[in-house]
Structures are given as C-alpha cells and as structure tokens.
Amino acid sequence: MVVSVDEDKLQEISKLDGCYVIKTNVEKDTLSAKGVHERYKDLALVEQAIRKLKTGCLEVRPIYVRKESRTRGHVFVTMLAYMVVHEFWKRTQHMGKTLEHMIDSLEKIHLE
C-alpha cells in the first residue's frame, strides 16, 4: 500500500480553509454582508452567555420539555434572565469586577 499526497489538489482545497457560508433570509438592502457577519458573531456571544448563565450564575440543570408552549416558556425565561444579567453587567462593568463577583455579592443580600 502506497499513500501519496496530490499537492496541487491539496493546495486547491486549502484555499477555502477557514471560510464558511452564512445563509440568511434578510434582504440585501436591509443588512450588508458585513452586518450579517457581525450579527452572526453576536450570536456566538449570546450562546456563550446563555451557557455561562445556565451553568454558572443560575446553576440550572438541563430541562427537557415536549410541548411547544413549555418550550416557548423555557426560551422566554432563559432570554429574560439573559437580558437581566446583561443589563446588570452593562451598568456595573465600570466597577472593574467580574460578573460572577457581582452576582456573588448580590447573594449576600437578604430581606427579613
């Protein structure tokens, strides 16, 4: 058995390394290609924030729902929590503390 590399073919297919396609239903006159790419990068930030929110701040275990109404409710509550935490972070980031530190500080507040 002999294995060889077709260098020309390898160079040709390597031209697309690091490239990807973003398909959207947004009209060209509504948002530029650069704008679509920026919104796509924002999506990654939101996904990371929600994952961090569920595992770090809220310590939420996986929830499995079957009914559409419950799925919609779960997504609504998750997005609402994300928006609250994001707004909290925007208003407190000037303090130079991490979000986790700020939330830990809030946990010490109790009403009696």
pLDDT digits (tens, 9 = 90+) for 25-42: 988 889 998 999 888 888
CA distances from 78 to 29, 53, 103, 105 (A): 32, 9, 17, 22
Q: What pTM does this model have?
A: 0.51
Give the type of residue at 69.
Answer: S
Whose tokens are 């530029």? That residue is 32
pLDDT digits (tens, 9 = 90+) for 58-111: 666 777 888 999 989 988 888 888 888 888 888 988 998 887 788 788 888 877
Q: How confident is the model at residue 9 (pLDDT cuts 50, 70, 90)?
A: very high
